[in-house]
Structure 1
């Protein structure tokens, strides 16, 4: 196995630079049927798929989100722009958080800011959160570059390793470092969520 580590780093940094989100203005401001919602999500989030046959959103997922109190019910089988935004939040959160944790953090948002005439609504919250996340892209790139450079200094002085074995162990070191970062941040997020009150849902 021969991996060009410099090319790998460049590819990772390029991938981070190209990270984007579904802009609020690109979300239809009309009510959509379920099929239209799944088609929209698949089109907008296609670049985030790891494999071509990965599912972004299915009818079963939407029904489960509503069943588990993550998503307000549709109105006459139609979903609003705010429904779509909540589903986008769920899409990203579910990669690291449990359904229960997602319910805990989203319930105050959907309970107070969903379908409201207030200046602060689900759409404005989404835009603010996304803008903040995008502003952290350079910091994320710097962290990845530092982890890469650190990994390249591991196993350098260990005798008895072939070049290919040393290369793989350095790659393993990079994966481990990035994984620990994810693990630590996930633990921190869960600690914060554990301090939040139990979700209280409005009576339907």
Structure 2
């Protein structure tokens, strides 16, 4: 038990960081079009906090090219990427950690068709700001859930040997968090599967 506070400190530090961290705002993005190198530099700088290891890459040229080939990302204009491209890349970055490319394509294709470079006021910045504006509240809710879960993990093995307590509490915490992520991932997939997405452009072209 004496080493358990080290685990608890990690949780508290993570929760505090999560609640204090502000998401990238649409207003943080440049209002000028950027070349690919500028895009990757911006993304790697502003999302550096999410790296596990210092050498990890947030976004690379290869990733961007693959997103374009998968029709996740509209082609750049004269090799320059707009603010809408940047906002779409942020969505892709968060979703790719949970969803397959196929599911991301299903989910984002209607958004791209409707809001990408739209000029009637309901554009990508409008959409992004409404969704990301909920992130601070969601971070607080998740922090509360993690604290409750950590209390449960602490009490799973109350009678275990003192020398095993730290490992068993770590194992319990990881197992409960994994169960949470697994069930939420399944729910996300069911939500995507239940929605009647418009046919993609390739299918539409085949019918013409």
Does the alignment reach a TM-score above 0.5?
yes
Instruction: List runs of 5+ in structure 1 lacking aligned partners.
Output: none
What RMSD, in angstroms, separates the aligned Cα atoms of the two structures? 1.8
Q: Does 1:43 align with 2:45?
A: yes
Runs of 4+ in 1 over 3 A off after TM superposition: none
Shift of 1:163: 1.1
Measured in 2, the distance between the counterparts of 1:178 and 1:131 equals: 25
Measured in 2, the distance between the counterparts of 1:170 and 1:189 equals: 28
Which residue in 2 is equivalent to 1:201? Answer: 201
Contact 1:107–1:199 (8 Å) recurs in 2? no
Aligned to 1:127, what secondary structure does the other structure show? helix
**Number of positions where the alignment pairs a residue of Structure 1 with one of Structure 2:** 201
Cα distance change of structure 1 residues 76 and 27 upon mapping to structure 2, 3 Å threshold: same
Measured in 1, the distance between the counterparts of 2:100 and 2:21 equals: 24
1:77 alignment partner, one of 66, 76, 79: 79
Contact 1:151–1:173 (8 Å) recurs in 2? yes
Contact 1:38–1:58 (8 Å) recurs in 2? yes
Which residue in 1 is equivalent to 2:119? Answer: 117
Matches for 1:46-195 after TM superposition, within 5 Å: 46-157=48-159, 161-195=160-194
Aligned to 2:80, what secondary structure does the other structure show? coil
Q: Which has the higher helix share?
A: 2
Normalised to the residue count of structure 2, the TM-score between the two structures is: 0.91
Shift of 1:199: 4.3
